[in-house]
Structure 1
Amino acid sequence: MNVSYDLKSKLRKMELKKHLIICWVVLLAFCSGAQGISCYSCDTITDGKNCDDPFVDGTVKKNCTSCFTLKGEVSGVKGIARDCETETDLTTGCNSFEEDIYSGTLCVCTTDLCNDATRGPMATIMLNLLPVLVYIFLKLFEM
């Protein structure tokens, strides 16, 4: 009877280790941006409504340090630009600005294709939640 319990315990630990390996592979897939990230590049002046919200499509640039979306208005003309920064690391988040003839919001993010206005925040949330989920998983199945 005790042998059966030991066997079940060992099988459970093996299954847990398998799940942990899968979690780490997923985590590494999210963190594979060491070579640079990819960003959408477009603007509503040259690309029309494809670059507008809701976002449809844009050219993809690679090896970026951060992505940004600039939504603004210049002399009464509204527009959106999405692009890639390769030279400097911009501070992530959104900042609004307003001057005499222009105003808008600049949002900067640092995950693949995060400047599309819909998938970016979810990817960031998932990346931040993964370690928490692994921790909860480990606590549920104490090794």
Structure 2
Amino acid sequence: LFSVSPLVVLDCEAIACYSCVSINGSDPKCEDPMSASVPLDRPCRQSVAGHEGLFYAYYCSKIKGVRQSDGRSLLIRHCSMDKLADIPTHCGQFSLDEELYSGCIATCTRDWCNTSPMLDHLFLLCFLGNNLKE
């Protein structure tokens, strides 16, 4: 019993996140509003640079943006070992794989919290704000 307890505690502390990627609407289930059939990672684990194996993630994330070079949309729901921003939701410009995007990045710490429909409103405001400046 004693040797099983730490395993149970670790599993309870691991976060569960929705996991999907949609590029230009390639996965309609991942797009907002999100389908209930989107896969869950539970427990969600990630690799860490310089270490072998997978480690329990602490955060769920949702990244939604439009690539500035060609207008291609991107939506990623996944887990992360690190916060992706200093605040729960960051909207504006961000860089991913050496490409510049306009959109929002949200990081949260509750199971299945990366559905975040509120991001749609924030994304629209950021998109309009950035385009009205020009």
TM-score range, shorter chain: 0.5 to 0.7
In terms of fraction of residues, the more helix-rich structure is: 1
Match of 1:134 in 2: none
**Residue 102 of structure 1 aligns to a residue in which SS?**
strand
Task: Report which of the two structures shows the higher radius of gyration computed on alpha carbons.
Answer: 1
Match of 1:43 in 2: 21
Q: How many residues align?
A: 86
CA displacement at 1:36 relative to structure 2: 1.4
Distance 1:76 1:50, change over 3 A: same
RMSD between superposed Cα atoms in Å: 2.7
Matched residues in 2 for 1:117 and 1:71: separation?
A: 11
TM-score, normalised on structure 2? 0.54
> After TM superposition, what 4+ stretches of structure 1 lie above 2 angstroms from structure 2?
88-92
**Residue 37 of structure 1 aligns to a residue in which SS?**
coil
TM-score, normalised on structure 1? 0.51
**Residue 34 of structure 2 aligns to a residue in which SS?**
coil
- 1:96 pairs with 2:91: yes
Alignment of 1:1-143 (within 5 A): 35-45=13-23, 48-56=27-35, 57-61=37-41, 62=43, 63-74=56-67, 75-86=70-81, 88-90=82-84, 91=86, 93-98=88-93, 101-117=100-116
- For the Cα contact (< 8 Å) 2:61–2:79, is it kept in 1? yes
Bigger RCO (CA 8 Å, 6+ sep): 2
Identity across matched positions, percent: 28
